[in-house]
């Protein structure tokens, strides 16, 4: 048994190249919103780029659902 290999379905356990684009977009938006020094965080305002990343992920999921 390989001690460095985990047998989970958690996307974090996979290399970036194997993580879905939707997951990476959402994770990046989450990270941006947690950076305490960001102007939007300091001012308590929405992070427009993080919102756009989430919007793109939503649209990709919608389009993937249409293709199925």
44 φ/ψ sector (left φ>0, alpha ψ -120 to 50, else beta): left
Q: DSSP character for 12?
A: G
DSSP string, 2-43: -TT------GGGS-GGGS-HHHHHHHHHHHHHH-TTSHHHHH
28 and 67 Cβ atoms separated by less than 8 Å: no
Q: Look at residue 3 in the predicted model and tell me its pLDDT.
A: 41
- pLDDT tens-digit profile, the chain (68 residues): 344 444 456 666 667 666 899 999 999 999 999 999 999 999 999 999 999 999 999 999 999 887 65
Q: Look at residue 54 in the predicted model and tell me its pLDDT.
A: 97
Q: Look at residue 35 in the predicted model and tell me its pLDDT.
A: 95
């Amino acid at each position: 048994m390989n001690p460095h290999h985990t047998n989970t379905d958690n996307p974090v356990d996979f290399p970036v190249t194997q993580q879905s684009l939707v997951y990476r977009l959402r994770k990046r938006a989450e990270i941006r919103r947690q950076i305490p020094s960001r102007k939007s965080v300091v001012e308590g305002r929405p992070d427009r780029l993080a919102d756009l990343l989430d919007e793109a992920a939503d649209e990709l999921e919608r389009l993937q659902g249409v293709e199925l």
